[in-house]
Structure 1
Amino acid sequence: MVQVRQVCVWGLVLVLSPLFSAAPTNRAASSQRNKLLLISFDGFRWDYDRDVDTPNLDKMAQEGVKAKYVTPPYLTITSPAHFSMLTGRYVENHGVIHNMWFNTTTQEKKQYYEAQFVDSYWDNGSLPIWITAQRQGLKTGSLHFPGTAPTYQGENVTMRQIEPPNYKFSNETEWRIHIDTVLADWFHKQDLDFVSLYFGEPDVTGHKHGPDSPQLKAMVKQVDRTVGYIRERLQQLGLTNRINVIMTADHGMTNVLRGEQIQQILLSKIPNFSFRDIQFQLLDYGALGMLLPKEGKLEKVYQALKNSHPHLQVYKKHDVPARLHYSSHPRLLPLILIADTGYIVNGILPLHSSKGDHGFDNEIMDMKAFFRAVGPDFHTDLLVEPFDLVDVYPLMCHLLKIQPEVNDGDLEKTKKMLISEGDTGGSDGIYV
């Protein structure tokens, strides 16, 4: 019966469309809720397609919308940026402040994968869009997307596949299996309304070989083939006119290799600085470091590090530039160390070996991410101005016709992509 009603609605649209010349005949009526697929290709920089042949991404832009770039939130790393995508909150507001979870009292640290299973780290008051949609009657799914594993206020994603340990991110055959799971099973058979799908490339290749390497260019071509496969399967399953596809990334990538040397900043080499003054440290992970000085040692440590290296910015927590939105959360440690682009913060020894990295200031162009969107609710052949990654959240809520949670995004920045761009509900961007 559902299919019959949809056919009837489409017939009505086709009959009436000549009366409304502004509405293309191949688009859904504004009152119809279409499905939504959110895809993240981790670390796909905004300009990776410039010097690589990407016919499928090009075709997607011609048949949909392309943004010049999107600006990720700071910190520009995987878990914080993806959770901003899912909640529309800046990192200091949602509290997933790093890929690593840590406990300053016990000195315990969990790396990226283990941190995915710490419910209290993610379930910190900001609800991801899966849970919000489910509470408003929709069915959701997530495959490997960061944040999929935790329970939020007692709820999990309706359908989910959690990334296994030591997963090989670059296996193109497995990518296609995942795509078939999402499209043929979850959307087509299970009739889900919203699904998020994550791929760990080209981030892994960018780290290992650098963003300018032949290996990176080959991986961009693999991503493009995958985009072609996604769109081909949508067509085969009869879903093209029922699913909006948003494709983006959490951050970009930059080169940290100069000659044969990784550009590393060693705190152990800084005069007047001593780890004996530190109670807890989060270092050796990339462009950002955080320090918890021992009681009464904050000013001493700050003065030792301030102006100690020409490519290191040192801030007391509440002095971090407001535009970064990385100062007010209680999980952030009292001293924040931010390296200039291309430099890595290490503690005692130079531990970093990657040729490419991210985590730098989100205003740096190399940190910007790509964005494509296509589907029944989007304009065709439209290039739009840059916007922020947090703005994707209210856009998704609008497409799903659900009321958003409190968020930092702005629907005004993205509604120009939509055919029914005037139909955005009230001035607060909530769909009515």
Structure 2
Amino acid sequence: MKKLSIALLLVFACLEGFSQIVVPVTDTAQQIIAGRKNSPAQQKKPYVILISADGFRWDYADRYNAENLIRLRKQGVAAASMQPSYPSVTFPNHYAMVSGLYPSHSGLVNNSFYDRDRKEFYSMGNKKKVADGSWYGGSPLWVLAEQQQMKSASFYWVASEAAIKEIRPSYYYIYNEKINTHNRISAVVDWLKLPTDERPHLITFYFPQVDHAGHLHTPESPEVAHEVHYVDSAVNELYKAVKTTGLNVNFVFVSDHGMTKVNTEEQIRIPAAIDTSKFTISGDGILVELYAKDKSSIQPTYDELKKEAKNYQVYLKTNVPARLHYGTADDRHNRIGDILLIPDWPMVFNLSNRKTINPGWHGYDPTLIKDMHATFYAWGPAFKKHLHIKTFQNVDVFNMISRILGLKINPLDKVDGTAKLADEILVKKAVKK
């Protein structure tokens, strides 16, 4: 009976998320926060467009000959890869890049998770939760910009719909897939043609297509190749359209994580040691977290799981490997489970006992599994030319963009990002127009 309880819990969670994510919301109108202006000093600052192609693995551009991205990266900087934060999934890593915080430090610890203090779940499929700024720690780039009288805009980015510290971008859209790419690009151009006191200097832009194809068809599929070429063409269209404004804009092209082919034949089923009367369960195929209703249940359950574990690792919150930044010492928001189950690549949990699971997954330890690594390219006046750099951690993107825009980082946020990336790839005086 306890196994059925877990299965039903996860099935309902998946159905909720699926209904929210796949069915587009009806609100396609641009949201505008009235009454803001760029200060005279901020009007002289550079412009940055931060583009994310979800699930665009580190090797996709070369594997599938994304000729436009290859050409554009040659004008600036290309990283061997970019290492996502753990867990290597969409919401935590999009937020890590714009906040400079590891997921355990920002509080956005997974796409879906349980909060002990609130006694409620956060889910990327729950629009109300996603738009609630109290779930997010730190100060994302658009919050820093708006606090310092620099206008920002978002054509989609994780948390950009939420009032974090009571602040949203000056211009933003509620996530939906009804607006076609050409119209999204036109909106960016319109923003950049606004008067100088109204014009956003930070713009975020998001593509979901490659991730969708990777999950359904695996990274080596013709479907992924098709979507890589689609994104490649769209980025080139955006680049050419922005050129018509006459502004010398900086472009940063990133992804949140990679993708890998998993073992769909030998799936990990519900461990017998899990008793849902004693634990609240949160998780998916790559990370399962158990939250004890009574702390006395933790050690006995952990011991039993360790005995029966096959093709997965079992950790107490107190002994999670430090490299993951996902244990007791890092849990600033008390949202990490008391017991964690992490499958060995390429294994996946099938906790809902579905007959089939997607053949493409991400979420594994990026320090061990290279397929989890993401893409990073950048070009424009702030960047050095024809530069190839080694792999770096994605939290450094925050510091780098902050430097280009001349934004002061709030020391109270205790960001994990460093100045190393900015020092390596930016030209001197990069913050000047």
The corresponding residue for 1:419 is 427
The corresponding residue for 2:215 is 207
CA-to-aligned-CA distance 1:216-241 (integer Å, 9 cap, x gap): 111111111112111111222222x2
Any idea what SS the aligned residue of 2:383 has?
coil
Q: How far apart are residue 415 of structure 1 and its match?
A: 2.1
The corresponding residue for 2:14 is none
Any idea what SS the aligned residue of 1:50 has?
helix
Given the two structures, how large is their TM-score scaled by the length of structure 1? Answer: 0.82
> For the aligned residues, what is the CA RMSD?
2.2
8 Å contact kept, 1:391–1:409: yes
Among 99, 113, 121, which residue is 2:135 paired with?
Answer: 121
CA distance in structure 2 between the aligned counterparts of 1:388 and 1:106, rounded to whole angstroms: 31
The corresponding residue for 2:269 is 266
CA-to-aligned-CA distance 1:331-367 (integer Å, 9 cap, x gap): 1111111112222223352466211010110111000
The corresponding residue for 2:186 is 180
The corresponding residue for 1:398 is 403
Single out whichever of 380-389 and 292-301 deviates more from structure 2: 292-301
Q: How far apart are residue 294 of structure 1 and its match?
A: 3.7
8 Å contact kept, 1:264–1:350: no
CA distance in structure 1 between the aligned counterparts of 2:356 and 2:427, rounded to whole angstroms: 47
CA distance in structure 2 between the aligned counterparts of 1:160 and 1:248, rounded to whole angstroms: 20
CA distance in structure 2 between the aligned counterparts of 1:325 and 1:318, rounded to whole angstroms: 11
Given the two structures, how large is their TM-score scaled by the length of structure 2? Answer: 0.82
2:109 maps to 1:97: yes
The corresponding residue for 2:5 is none
2:217 maps to 1:217: no
Bigger-Rg structure (1/2): 1
Among 230, 234, 237, which residue is 2:245 paired with?
Answer: 237
CA distance in structure 1 between the aligned counterparts of 2:100 and 2:276, rounded to whole angstroms: 39
Counterpart of 2:135 in structure 1: which amino acid?
Y
CA-to-aligned-CA distance 1:271-304 (integer Å, 9 cap, x gap): xx14245320013x22000002342211111011
Q: Show structure 2 runs of 5+ residues with no match.
A: 1-42
8 Å contact kept, 1:207–1:354: yes
Any idea what SS the aligned residue of 2:407 has?
coil
The corresponding residue for 1:304 is 304
CA distance in structure 2 between the aligned counterparts of 1:101 and 1:292, rounded to whole angstroms: 10
CA-to-aligned-CA distance 1:305-336 (integer Å, 9 cap, x gap): 11533321111112111111111311111111
Cα 1:398–1:104 shift into 2, 3 Å: closer
8 Å contact kept, 2:216–2:360: yes
Q: How far apart are residue 416 of structure 1 and its match?
A: 1.9
Q: How far apart are residue 47 of structure 1 and its match?
A: 0.3
The corresponding residue for 1:247 is 253
Q: Show structure 1 runs of 5+ residues with no match.
A: 1-30, 426-430
8 Å contact kept, 1:314–1:336: yes
Among 149, 174, 183, which residue is 1:137 paired with?
Answer: 149
Counterpart of 1:346 in structure 2: which amino acid?
N
CA-to-aligned-CA distance 1:183-224 (integer Å, 9 cap, x gap): x11122241111111111211110011111110111111111
- Between the two proteins, what is the percent identity of the paired residues? 29
The corresponding residue for 1:338 is 342
8 Å contact kept, 2:381–2:430: no
Q: How far apart are residue 36 of structure 1 and its match?
A: 0.8
The corresponding residue for 1:6 is none
Q: How far apart are residue 95 of structure 1 and its match?
A: 0.7
8 Å contact kept, 1:96–1:121: yes
Any idea what SS the aligned residue of 1:305 has?
helix
The corresponding residue for 1:25 is none
8 Å contact kept, 2:113–2:335: no
Q: How far apart are residue 92 of structure 1 and its match?
A: 1.2
Cα 1:89–1:104 shift into 2, 3 Å: closer
The corresponding residue for 2:95 is 83
Counterpart of 2:341 in structure 1: which amino acid?
L
Counterpart of 1:196 in structure 2: which amino acid?
T
CA distance in structure 2 between the aligned counterparts of 1:374 and 1:300, rounded to whole angstroms: 54
Q: How far apart are residue 101 of structure 1 and its match?
A: 4.4
CA distance in structure 2 between the aligned counterparts of 1:348 and 1:375, rounded to whole angstroms: 47
Counterpart of 1:70 in structure 2: which amino acid?
M
CA-to-aligned-CA distance 1:128-151 (integer Å, 9 cap, x gap): 111111111200111111111111
CA-to-aligned-CA distance 1:139-196 (integer Å, 9 cap, x gap): 01111111111111222211111103xx36xxxx8112112211x1112224111111
Residue correspondence of structure 1 range 5-84 to structure 2 within 5 A: 33-84=45-96
Cα 1:149–1:304 shift into 2, 3 Å: same
Aligned residues: 376
Q: How far apart are residue 410 of structure 1 and its match?
A: 1.4
CA distance in structure 2 between the aligned counterparts of 1:34 and 1:320, rounded to whole angstroms: 41
2:393 maps to 1:388: yes
8 Å contact kept, 1:247–1:373: yes
8 Å contact kept, 2:350–2:357: no
The corresponding residue for 2:123 is 111
CA distance in structure 1 between the aligned counterparts of 2:211 and 2:372, rounded to whole angstroms: 12
Residue correspondence of structure 1 range 278-297 to structure 2 within 5 A: 278-283=278-283, 285-295=284-294, 296-297=296-297
8 Å contact kept, 2:192–2:245: no
The corresponding residue for 2:376 is 371
Counterpart of 1:209 in structure 2: which amino acid?
H
Single out whichever of 343-352 and 188-197 deviates more from structure 2: 343-352
CA distance in structure 2 between the aligned counterparts of 1:178 and 1:362, rounded to whole angstroms: 32
Q: How far apart are residue 385 of structure 1 and its match?
A: 1.3
Counterpart of 2:304 in structure 1: which amino acid?
A
Cα 1:88–1:107 shift into 2, 3 Å: closer
CA distance in structure 1 between the aligned counterparts of 2:78 and 2:166, rounded to whole angstroms: 37
8 Å contact kept, 2:290–2:340: yes
Which 4+ runs in 1 deviate beyond 4 A?
A: 103-108
CA distance in structure 2 between the aligned counterparts of 1:366 and 1:307, rounded to whole angstroms: 30
CA distance in structure 1 between the aligned counterparts of 2:360 and 2:318, rounded to whole angstroms: 30
Among 168, 175, 184, which residue is 1:156 paired with?
Answer: 168
CA distance in structure 1 between the aligned counterparts of 2:276 and 2:227, rounded to whole angstroms: 44
CA distance in structure 1 between the aligned counterparts of 2:45 and 2:122, rounded to whole angstroms: 40
Counterpart of 2:133 in structure 1: which amino acid?
D
